[in-house]
Structure 1
Amino acid sequence: PASGESQRLIITKETAAVRPHAVAAVLRNITFTQERYDSFIELQEKLHQNICRKRSLVAIGTHDLDTIDGPFTYTAKAPAQINFKPLNQTKEYSATELMSLYKTDSHLRHYLHIIEDKPVYPVIYDSNGIVLSMPPIINGDHSKISLRTKNVFIECTATDLTKAKIVLDMMVTMFSEYCAQPFTVEEAEVVYPDGKTCIYPELAYRTEKLSSEFINRKVGINESTEKIAQLLTQMCLKSKATGAGDEIEVEIPPTRSDVIHTCDIMEDAAIAYGFNNIIRTTPRTYTVANQFPINKLTELLRQDLAAAGFTEALNFALCSKEDIADKLGKKIEDTKAIHISNPKTAEFQVARTTLLPGLLKTIAANRKMPLPLKLFEISDVVLKDETKDVGARNSRRFCAVYYSKSPGFEVIHGLLDRTMQLLEVRPGPGEGYSIKAADDCTFFPGRCAEIFARGQRVGRLGVLHPDVITRFELTMPCSALELDLQPFL
C-alpha cells in the first residue's frame, strides 16, 4: 500500500458456527468500461457456480473501497440483529425479512439453504458499522461496484480455506491487468480470532519434478527432454530440464490451480503437442471386440417386431412422477423410482421404471395418424437395487401398444406368441411360457394377465383401464404388453 498500512479484515470467533474462513485483497486504480464491468461480474458468477460449489464453499464479495473505511470486521449475528439495504433495493431490511424476500427470487433463492437454518448469519461491517455483505446471499447497496469505481476491495468468505485462496488468486490475477500499473495487487491483512495474522493474496508458486520418459510413455510420443520442457512452457507452466537425467522442473503459477498432480502436467504436454499429431499405433495386446448379449438380442428382436407391423419409438429415459405413478393409478412410493435431486423441468423428475407411459405419450402426440397405431420400444428402465454399488440397475424391457377403435387384445397376445417364438421359448408350464389372470390398477379389471416364462414372472399384458387412457389424453381403447428381456439371455 502507498500509505504503508494494509487494509485489515478482523474475523471474530462467532463465525466458527457458519463460515469460519475469510481472505481479502485490494485492486488499486482500476479502470472499468462496460465490457470489463460485465466480465468482472460474469467471472464472479462462474466461479460461484463451479469451484465455489454454488457458494456453499466460497462466496465472493467485491466492494468500492472509496465508499467504505477499514478496518473491516467479519462476524456472525442473530438474523434479527442484522439490518442493511441490500444490493439494488430501495430500503433497509433485517436478515429475516431478506430470507423471506429472496424465497421468490429466481437467482438468490438457490443459496438461502446454506445459512437459513443456522442460529447466526455471517456479516461484514466496516469501521463505521456499514454492512458490506451478508455472505453467501447478498452484498450491501452502499459499497456496490460501478463503472466509476477505481479501487476494489475483494473479500471471500469460506468453509474451505484452500478454495478461498484459489478463488482470490483467480480474481486478482485476471483483473489486475486493468490496474493503472498492470498486474499489481495490494495485500490485505486478515486477523483470526486467536490473534494470528495472515497476508493475502498468497499467489503461491510451487514446483513439481517429473521425467520426460513418463510424459513420452503416457502420451505415446518420443520427444527430447528440452522439447517437452518447451511444450509445457507454452502452456503457461514455466519448465526447464534440470540436467539430472531426463528430469524436468515445472513451476506451477497461481493461475493454474487445476494442476494438482503430475498427470495434469502430462495432459498439458499432450495438448501442446497436439492430439492429432500423436501417431496412431496398434495395441500390443490381441483383443477381439464383441457385442453385449443383451444388445445383440435387442437388435435381432427389433428387426422381427418391425416385420410384424409395429413401428419403433424411442423416448426419454427421464419422465415426470405423474407419468409412472398417478397416471397409471399407482403410488410413487411403490415404483422403486430413482429421483433426480435437482430437476430442471417437471417433465424430467425421475428415471422411468416402465416404458408404457412413453409409448402412450407418443400415441397422444400422433392421434391424427390413421388407425390402428401399433408401437413398440425396446430400451432400459432404471430400478432401485441396494445390491449394486450405485444403488440402482438398468433393466432392458420390451413394450408394445395397440391403439384403435377396438381394444385389439388378440393382436397384443399374438405379438407375445411371436416374441416367445423368436426367443425360442415354447408354450406350456415349467421351461415354457404361460399367462395367468392378474389384478393391476393400470389395466381393465378381468382384462389383465401376468406372463410367466422359465418358472419366473417376466411381464404383463392386457387392456388398459379407461381412466389411464383418459389421463394420457387418449379417447380410444388400448392394449399393452411389457416384458423384461433380462431372463431370456
Structure 2
Amino acid sequence: MPKVSVGRDRLFKALGRSNYTKDEFEDLCMRYGLELDDVTTEKAIIRKEMHLGDEEATEDEEVIYIVEVPAHRYDLLCLEGLVQALRIFMELDEIPTYTVANVPKESMLKVHVKPETSSIRPFIVCAVLRGITFDEARYKSFIDLQDKLHQNVCRKRTLVAIGTHDLDTLQGPFTYEALLPTEIDFVPLKQEKSFRADELMKFYESDTKLKKFLHIIEKSPVFPVIYDSKRTVLSLPPIINGAHSAITLQTKNVLIECTATDLTKAEIVLKTMVTMFSMYCEHKFEVEPVEVVGTSVKFYPDLSTSNMEVPLSEVTSKIGVSAEATQVISCLKKMQLRAVQGLSGDKECKIVLSIPPTRTDILQSCDVAENFAIAYGFNNITRTMPKIPTQGRHQLLSQISYLIRLEIALAGFTEVLTWILCSNKENFSMLDRKDEKSTAVIVGNPRSSDFESHLRSTERAMLRVSGKVKLSISTMSRIRVATEKNTKKTAQAIVTFKNQLSEFVNVVVSSGALQLPLPQPSPQGVLESNPQVGSTITVTENTDKENPCAELGEVTEIPAIGAASGTDEGMVVVNMTTDDPRVSPIRALAGSTTANGGFVATGNEDFDADFGKVLNRGLVGSFPRVQGELKIEVLIGETAGLSDKSYGGLIENYEGKQSPSKAHKGFHILTFVYQILIFEVGDVVLLDKGKDIGATNRRRIAALYSGEDSGFEIIYALVLRVLQMLNIPCKPTEGYSIAASSEPEFLPDRQANVTLKGKYVGTFGIVHPEVISPNDVDLSWFQVVSSIV
C-alpha cells in the first residue's frame, strides 16, 4: 500500500486543530479507512535513506507522520488531498467544485502531436495552473505527488510519465515528436552541459534513480521529445525534463504534460495533479485547458463530474444495515460524493450520484457501498451470523495430504517447503528434459528469470533443497588427565580430523580457568577461538602453595579474543564451527556466555584435591549424520616437552578406563553417519486446456534420500508404505503396479514407474549424476541420491 509522509504540525494546522494526540489522529485515520503506519522525524528518514550516522544528518527534527492509504485512492497521495478528504469527512468543508477556465480558443495553448509518436508513446495530455503560489512545503509536496503517482498508477513511468515546467520560460505552441536519439540535444535537469539523447542514456546508467527507467525507450529507434516554438526541449519522456523550464519557488505558471501509452491512466494522473494543487492558484480550483492537436482535436483536462445511479437496496444490503435514503446521501457526502434521491421506472428508490474528478476510483455500485460503509462507521454495523446453511470442514484432498505427511514423517523423513515458482531451466534442462511447451505454466512479465515458471515437478524442489541442508554433530564425551599434587606438569590437547570432516570443519579450542575445590574465587582464564586443525593448547598447573588455585598457562598458536570467567572445574572445550552450508554451528552442551561473546563450558566431574586437570570436549547439535572420524589425543611426558619422570600420573578416557602412568597418550575416535531424508507434499501447476483459466493445480509427493550407501531400497520402501497406508492393493487392474521406466533424470536400470489402475502416477529411482551436478549438489557427499516424484 502507498505511504504518504506529512509533517505533523502542518497536517494538524491544515485540519484546523493543533492539539491532536497521536491516538486521536490514529482513530480518525482508522475511521476513514487509513492507517498511521509510523511516527518519525525528517532527520531519521534522511539517515535511513542515505545510511548516515546521527551526527551526519543535517535536517531538522520535525515530526513526520507516515500514513498508509489505499492504492486506488490517488487523491490521498499528498498532504493537500489527505487534508481535503479528512476535513470533508469531518464536515468542516464543502465538496469543492473544479472548473476549467474559459479561455478564448485563439489564445489557448496548443500541443501538436506528430504521427511518429504512435510507435513509442502515442498519447499526451496537458493543463496549466495559472497564478500558483509555491512555498517550500508546497513545492516539496508537488514533487512528492509526482513521485508517488509514478510509482503507483503510472507503473514506474511505463504507462504514464509526468513533466512539469515553468511556463514563463517557454513559448508556445508546443510539438510532441519522435526523433532519432542523435537528433535530440539538450541540457537535462540538474546538469550544466548539453547531451545528445543517446549519450544521456549512457550517462544515466550509473544514476541510482533514473537508470531503472532507461529500458522503457532505450531500445527504440526513436525517442519521444517535446519542443516549444523556439525548439527548446521541455522533456525527454519518460526519462528527464530539460533544465531550461525547471520549476522554482518563484514559478507562477505551471505547464503539466503527461505522455502515455494508456490514455485513460494519463487523464487520471492529469486530473489528480491539477485538482490537488489548483487550490493554490489565483483563482481557486480553476485550471486552464490546453488544446491537443493530433489525428483529432481534444481539450484537456476534463474536470466534469460523472453520474451514476445505484438502487438504495443494493447499497444497504451489501453492508447489512437498514438505512433511509437521506442517511445514505449524508454519508456519501462525507466521502466527497454528491448524491440525491431519485425513483426508477418501477418506483424503486435510487441514489443518483455526481462523482467529482478527484474520485476516479468510483466505478460501480460496490464502490458506492464501500464508501457508504466507511462514512457509516464499520463499528456501527451490527454483527450477525452469516446466513450460510452449511458448516466448514476439511476438503478430502487436504485430509489425505495431512495423513500422508504424517506417515512419511514417521518413516524418518523431514518435511520441507519450497517455492512454487522457478526458472524454466529448472523445470526442464536441469532435469535433462526437453521443453515440450505443453505442461509448464509461464508467468507473464516475471520480476526475475529465476521465477518465470510454475513448478511442474516437485523433484526439482528436492534437489534444490538437498544442496542447502545444514548439518551439525551430536555427541558428548570427556577425557581426563590426572596428575600428582604439587607436581609441575604440562598437558597438550591435539585435535585432528580425518576423512571428509577435514575438508570443511574448522576447530575451535577454548580453555576455561582451572580451580581446585577451594572457597577462593578462581582467576580468570583466556578464551581462545578459531585455530587451525591440529593447533595445540598448553595448560600448566600452579604449584604456588601460598595461592593453591591453579592458573592457566600460556596458550600457543591460538590468538586470544578476551577473558572468560572462571569455572568450577578446569577443562579444555573443543567445539566445531564451519561456514560450509552443509554444517551448522555447534553449541556446547552446558556453559555460559561471556560479555564479549565468548563461551565457557562447565562440567559435572567430582574433583579430588590431589588431581587437578580435565580435558573436556563437548559437541551437541540436531542432525547427527556426518561421515568421518574425529580424534582427540592427550599427550603427557616427552611428547609434551617434559621427561617421563615428571608426570607419574594417570590418563582416563571417556569410558572411565585407566591406562598405566607410563602411557604417553589416550584418545577416542568418534564416527558419524551423514544422511539426508527430506520430503514435500505440495502443489504443482500444469497447463490444462479443459479449464477456463487454462491451467490446473495438482497435488504431488516428493521425497529424497542421500547418503554413501545405496538408497534405492529406502525410497522403494517409502513408496510401498504410502500405497499400503492408502489401502491400495498390488493388483495391476484394481490397484497399483511397478515396472521399469526410462526417465532421463534417473539412472538407467535404477528406476521404476508406479501406475494406478493402468494410469501413470509417479516415478522413483537413483538420480543421474548429470542431473545432480547442475543443481549445485556436491558429488563427494551424494554418492547415491534416490528420489520419488
TM-score normalized by the length of structure 2 = 0.55
Aligned residue for 1:266, secondary structure, equals helix
Residue number among 265, 269, 272 corresponding to 2:372 in the alignment: 269
Cα distance in 2, alignment partners of residues 176 and 266 from structure 1: 29
Residue number among 278, 281, 284 corresponding to 2:381 in the alignment: 278
Shift of 1:300: 1.8
1:14-45 deviation line (CA, Å, top 9, x unaligned): 25634444322222333142x54444334223
Matched, 1:46 2:152: no
Residue number among 192, 195, 206 corresponding to 2:293 in the alignment: 192
**Structure 1: 5+ residue runs without aligned partners?**
484-489
Aligned residue for 1:431, secondary structure, equals coil
Matched, 1:352 2:655: no
1:441-483 deviation line (CA, Å, top 9, x unaligned): 3222321212222101111111122343343323223443434
RMSD value, Cα = 3.2
Indicate the residue corresponding to 1:209 in structure 2.
309
Aligned residue for 1:427, secondary structure, equals coil
> Cα distance 1:481–1:76, how it changes in 2: closer, same or farther (>3 A)?
closer
Indicate the residue corresponding to 2:788 in structure 1.
482
State the one-letter code of the partner of 1:92: S
**Structure 2: 5+ residue runs without aligned partners?**
1-100, 472-622, 626-674
> Cα distance 1:359–1:284, how it changes in 2: closer, same or farther (>3 A)?
same
Residue number among 735, 738, 743 corresponding to 1:432 in the alignment: 735
> Cα distance 1:119–1:299, how it changes in 2: closer, same or farther (>3 A)?
same
Shift of 1:148: 5.1
Aligned residue for 1:377, secondary structure, equals strand
Matched, 1:379 2:682: yes
Aligned residue for 1:407, secondary structure, equals coil
Shift of 1:127: 2.1
Cα distance in 1, alignment partners of residues 430 and 183 from structure 2: 49
Aligned residue for 1:362, secondary structure, equals helix
> Cα distance 1:334–1:220, how it changes in 2: closer, same or farther (>3 A)?
closer
Range with greater deviation from structure 2 (298-307 or 88-97) = 88-97
Shift of 1:197: 6.0
Shift of 1:338: 2.3
Shift of 1:234: 1.3
> Cα distance 1:227–1:324, how it changes in 2: closer, same or farther (>3 A)?
same
Aligned residue for 1:208, secondary structure, equals strand
Cα distance in 1, alignment partners of residues 372 and 413 from structure 2: 53
CA contact (8 A) 2:278 2:285 kept: yes
> Cα distance 1:326–1:255, how it changes in 2: closer, same or farther (>3 A)?
same
State the one-letter code of the partner of 2:767: L
Residue number among 683, 686, 691 corresponding to 1:388 in the alignment: 691
> Cα distance 1:281–1:431, how it changes in 2: closer, same or farther (>3 A)?
same
- Which gives a bigger RCO, structure 1 or 2 (Cα 8 Å, sep 6+)? 1
Cα distance in 1, alignment partners of residues 155 and 714 from structure 2: 54
Cα distance in 2, alignment partners of residues 404 and 155 from structure 1: 66
Matched, 1:257 2:360: yes
Cα distance in 2, alignment partners of residues 240 and 211 from structure 1: 12
What is the 5 A alignment of 1:163-312?
163-177=265-279, 179=280, 181=282, 183-193=284-294, 196=297, 198=299, 200-241=300-341, 246-284=349-387, 286-312=389-415
Shift of 1:62: 0.9
State the one-letter code of the partner of 2:266: A
> Cα distance 1:437–1:36, how it changes in 2: closer, same or farther (>3 A)?
farther
Indicate the residue corresponding to 1:24 in structure 2.
126
Indicate the residue corresponding to 2:169 in structure 1.
67
What is the 5 A alignment of 1:82-161?
82-98=184-200, 120-147=222-249, 149-161=251-263
Indicate the residue corresponding to 1:486 in structure 2.
none
Cα distance in 2, alignment partners of residues 343 and 157 from structure 1: 25
Cα distance in 2, alignment partners of residues 3 and 210 from structure 1: 36
Cα distance in 1, alignment partners of residues 398 and 102 from structure 2: 71
Indicate the residue corresponding to 2:110 in structure 1.
9
Aligned residue for 1:267, secondary structure, equals helix
Cα distance in 1, alignment partners of residues 372 and 358 from structure 2: 17
Shift of 1:154: 0.5
State the one-letter code of the partner of 1:202: D
What is the 5 A alignment of 1:335-350?
336-350=439-453
Aligned residue for 1:76, secondary structure, equals strand
Shift of 1:383: 1.7
Cα distance in 1, alignment partners of residues 429 and 209 from structure 2: 31
What is the 5 A alignment of 1:298-337?
298-332=401-435, 336-337=439-440
> Cα distance 1:15–1:57, how it changes in 2: closer, same or farther (>3 A)?
farther
Shift of 1:2: 12
Cα distance in 2, alignment partners of residues 103 and 363 from structure 1: 39
Range with greater deviation from structure 2 (328-337 or 418-427) = 328-337
Cα distance in 2, alignment partners of residues 44 and 477 from structure 1: 59
1:194-232 deviation line (CA, Å, top 9, x unaligned): 78463x333112333333322112221101211111111
Indicate the residue corresponding to 2:624 in structure 1.
370
TM-score normalized by the length of structure 1 = 0.86
Aligned residue for 1:45, secondary structure, equals helix
Aligned residue for 1:449, secondary structure, equals strand
Give the number of the structure whose residues are more often helix, by fraction: 1
Range with greater deviation from structure 2 (394-403 or 312-321) = 312-321
CA contact (8 A) 2:705 2:787 kept: no
> Cα distance 1:195–1:260, how it changes in 2: closer, same or farther (>3 A)?
closer
> Cα distance 1:397–1:176, how it changes in 2: closer, same or farther (>3 A)?
same
Shift of 1:337: 2.4
> Cα distance 1:105–1:460, how it changes in 2: closer, same or farther (>3 A)?
farther
Shift of 1:51: 3.0
CA contact (8 A) 1:73 1:125 kept: yes
CA contact (8 A) 2:128 2:290 kept: no
Indicate the residue corresponding to 1:449 in structure 2.
752
1:343-371 deviation line (CA, Å, top 9, x unaligned): 33454232111112322333322241322
Q: How many correspondences in the alignment?
A: 480
